[in-house]
Every structure is written in C-alpha cells, then in structure tokens.
C-alpha cells in the first residue's frame, strides 16, 4: 500500500496555500505565456470534438446528477453575492458598450399610438420594439 498523508491534511494544506495565491493569480492573468483569444480560437476544433465525446458518454447529465442541487445552491449562496456585486460594478463599461446599439435601436423606433389597457394597439407597440431589436441582433 502506498504511503500518503490523510486526505483531510492534504485538503487543508491546499486550501491554506491556495488562498494566499491571489497575487500570483493576478500576475498570471496580466502576463500570460500566450494570447488567450488566439489560443481559444485555435482550439475551436478540439472544443467541438471534446463536446461531441462528452455528449456521447452523457458527461453533462452525469456531472449535474453527481453535484445535485445542494452543491450549486451552497456555492451560489456562499460565493455568489460578493462575486456578483463586484462583477457588476467592474462590468458597467462593458454593459454600456454592449447595450448601446440596442439603446439606439429602441430610441429610434416610431411607436404606433397607445391604446386603452389590454388593446391590440399596445401589442403593436411591443411588436415594433421586438422586431427592431431582433433585426439589429441578427444583423451583427
């Protein structure tokens, strides 16, 4: 039998050492060995092949079933709020840049006159917006 430290000791050391690696993580992100975008594009065929293989063996469903609801709920409630809040603040310029084209489309739509509550005229107003947004989305 191979000699190995107790799993609890290995896990505790991993958590302790890894939790102090924030500066190293940042350094790696800021100074990658190769371009993330170029490497990702170059690996597209490998990604597709991996998805086909994983799908053939039902890996996605198996992973979901193995994790269950408890794991995602636990991680989402413990980690999600802080990550969500800080992520949204950092992403404001990206949101503005991404939404600007749709903002322009919405502001340029000539809406038909409003009708009484529940009337078909009001659905026509919604239709005008959705058609303009869809046209913009598929034109890109």
Do 70 and 101 touch, CB atoms closer than 8 A? no
What pLDDT sits at residue 70?
93
What pLDDT sits at residue 112?
95
What pLDDT sits at residue 129?
95
- Residues with Cβ within 8 Å of residue 105, at least 6 apart in sequence: 132, 133, 136
What pLDDT sits at residue 49?
98
Distance CA 87, CA 81 (A): 10
Distance CA 102, CA 39 (A): 31
Write down the H helix ranges in the chain: 7-19, 22-30, 36-42, 44-56, 59-108, 120-139
What pLDDT sits at residue 42?
98
Q: Compute the chain's Rg from CA coordinates.
A: 25
For tokens 């170029």, what's the residue? 38
Distance CA 76, CA 30 (A): 27
What pLDDT sits at residue 2?
82
Walk along the chain (140 residues) in steps of 10 and give the mean pLDDT of each run.
87 90 93 96 98 97 94 93 92 93 94 95 96 93
What pLDDT sits at residue 55?
97
What pLDDT sits at residue 80?
93
Q: What is the pTM of this model?
A: 0.60
Distance CA 74, CA 15 (A): 18
């Amino acid at each position: 039998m191979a000699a190995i430290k107790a799993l609890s000791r290995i896990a505790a050391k991993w958590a302790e050492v890894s939790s102090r690696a924030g500066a190293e993580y940042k350094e790696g992100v800021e100074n990658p060995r190769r371009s993330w975008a170029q490497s990702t594009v170059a690996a597209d065929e490998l990604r597709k092949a991996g998805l086909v293989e994983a799908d053939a063996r039902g890996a996605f469903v198996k992973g979901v079933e193995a994790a269950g609801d408890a794991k995602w709920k636990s991680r989402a409630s413990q980690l999600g709020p802080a990550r969500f809040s800080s992520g949204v603040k950092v992403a404001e310029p990206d949101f503005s840049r991404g939404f600007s084209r749709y903002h322009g489309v919405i502001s340029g739509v000539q809406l038909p006159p409003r009708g009484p509550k529940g009337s078909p005229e009001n659905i026509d107003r919604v239709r005008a917006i959705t058609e303009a947004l869809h046209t913009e989305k598929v034109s890109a």
